[in-house]
Amino acid sequence: MWILESPLLRDAGAAVLTGATALAVLRFWEEVGNRALLDQKLCRKLVHITVGLVYFLMWPLFSADDVYAPFLASLVIAFNIIKVTLIGLGIVKDDGVINSMTRNGDRRELLKGPLYYACAITLATVIFWRTSPISIAVICNLCAGDGVADIAGRRFGHVKLPYNPDKSYAGSIAMFLAGFLASILYMCYFHLFGFVEESWSMVITFGVTTLAAAIVESLPISTRLDDNLTVPLASVLLGVLVFYYTGARNLCCMSADSSDISALVQNQMVLDSLPVSDEPREHCASSALQPGTVMRARSHACQMAKQGKEKTKLATLNMGRKKKRRKRLKQSAA
């Protein structure tokens, strides 16, 4: 039981489970690549889409009260960075990784796009984490948006962009739709755990950020800068500006702790002003430490405030009735 009570050990277990899940997905596509069941370029993009999104899906497993959680989660991708680097340098030989992650079967390609991809997700994990909408924008635009753009562009990209013959209207539109829809789905997913807010302003902001990332991805700079660098960079730069302008909270994971503390302080102030027993206080104190502390603390504080008002009204009504009874007794005695 003491193991389950330790946030650090729980998060270490969550990291192991996350790593095992991501590895299983990666091994699946490696096997597909080894058997040549799919085109190598298509297989590469399916790895690009699924590994990052599955890893992103596992974030709620980590505890909310452990400052080491984002670092433990990032170890999953960090190990992959080391592996990809060793294979790309020729120190380690792994044909499955080469076939599933490169365009032409050249191991040196791993030191570019796949390495940038892993580094971008690692930085998004450590810097922004799950309470920041920027992490959603970065990972969804990079994984879903950029991945689907390449697939759609190769299959339906007959009409090229006038300013970049290497990109097509179909690919750019597909990137916007895939990145935007993935961002909305993950916003709703993380909202279930209380990590981010769910509002129309967030939806619009994700749309603006994804549109900017799609425009940057379509520019004729891919020969100089890889899309795995430009897409997350554009998502971060514009995301910080737009989300800050719309009043979004916790843009960086370092600011989440202060928001949690302020919410708990406000919650405690409300509880201290209410005539409630010790049992509800203990229940609130324990529930406030669960994932989604900020929103749950606020909702609980509002509920307790309403209960306090009802109790105050009831107490006032009872006092008025008692005064009337005493007055009647005095009148009857006189």
Over residues 23-72, the pLDDT tens digits come to 899 889 888 877 878 887 888 889 899 999 999 999 999 987 778 889 99
- Nearest by Cα to 123 from 131, 110, 134: 134
Q: What integer pLDDT is reported at residue 111 of this predicted model?
A: 87
Whether residue 187 is predicted with pLDDT greater than 80 in this model: the reply is yes
Question: Residue 96 pLDDT > 90, yes or no?
Answer: no
Same domain, 45 and 164: no
Contacts of 278 (CB under 8 A, 6+ apart): none
The pLDDT assigned to 151 comes to 92
Task: Write down which residue in 218, 251, 284 finishes a domain.
Answer: 251
Helix 40-57 with 113-127: angle, nearest 10 deg = 10
Q: Are 260 and 293 in contact (CB under 8 A)?
A: yes
| Span 144-168, pLDDT tens digits | 999 999 999 989 988 999 998 889 9
Read off the pLDDT of residues 259-310 as tens digits, 9 standing for 90 and up.
444 444 455 455 455 554 444 444 444 444 444 444 445 545 555 555 665 6
Q: Within this chain, do residues 235 and 151 fall inside the same structural domain, yes or no?
A: yes
- Supply the DSSP symbol for 168: E
124 pLDDT higher than 90: yes
For 54, residues 6+ apart whose C-beta sits below 8 A from its C-beta are 21, 22, 25
pLDDT (0 to 100) of residue 279: 47
More confident residue, 109 or 206: 206
> Who wins on pLDDT, 74 or 307?
74
Average pLDDT along the chain: 80
**Percent of the chain having pLDDT more than 70?**
77
Residue scoring higher pLDDT (255 or 194): 194
What was the pLDDT predicted at 50? Answer: 93
Same domain for 11 and 120? yes
Q: Is 85 in the same domain as 168?
A: no
- Please tell me whether residues 33 and 52 are part of one structural domain: yes
φ and ψ of 167, to 5 deg: -120, 155
Q: Which residue has the tokens 């229940």?
A: 283
Same domain, 265 and 144: no
CA distances to 138, 150, 167, 193 from 173, rounded to whole Å, are: 18, 11, 11, 31
Within this chain, do residues 329 and 240 fall inside the same structural domain, yes or no? Answer: no
Which of 127, 152, 171 is the endpoint of a domain? 127
Based on the domain organization, do 7 and 102 belong to the same domain? yes
pTM over 0.75: no
Mean pLDDT of the 12-20 span: 92
Domain count, the chain: 3
Q: Which residue, 229, 251, 273, sits at the end of a domain?
A: 251
**Same-domain status, 145 and 184:** yes
DSSP-based three-state secondary structure for 159: coil
**In this structure, are 80 and 196 located in the same domain?**
no
> Which residues partner with 164 through β-bridges?
161
DSSP string covering 256-323, please? Answer: HHHHHHHHHHHHHHHHHTS---HHHHHHHHHHTTSSSHHHHHHHHHHHHHHHHHHHHHHHHHHHHHHH
| Residue-range definition of the domain harbouring residue 293 | 256-333
Can you give the pLDDT at residue 133?
92
Q: Give yes or no: residues 3 and 110 share one domain.
A: yes
219 and 282 share a domain?
Answer: no
Confidence of residue 171 (pLDDT cuts 50, 70, 90): very high
Q: What is the reported pLDDT for 311?
A: 64
Per-residue pLDDT averaged across 200-215, rounded?
Answer: 94
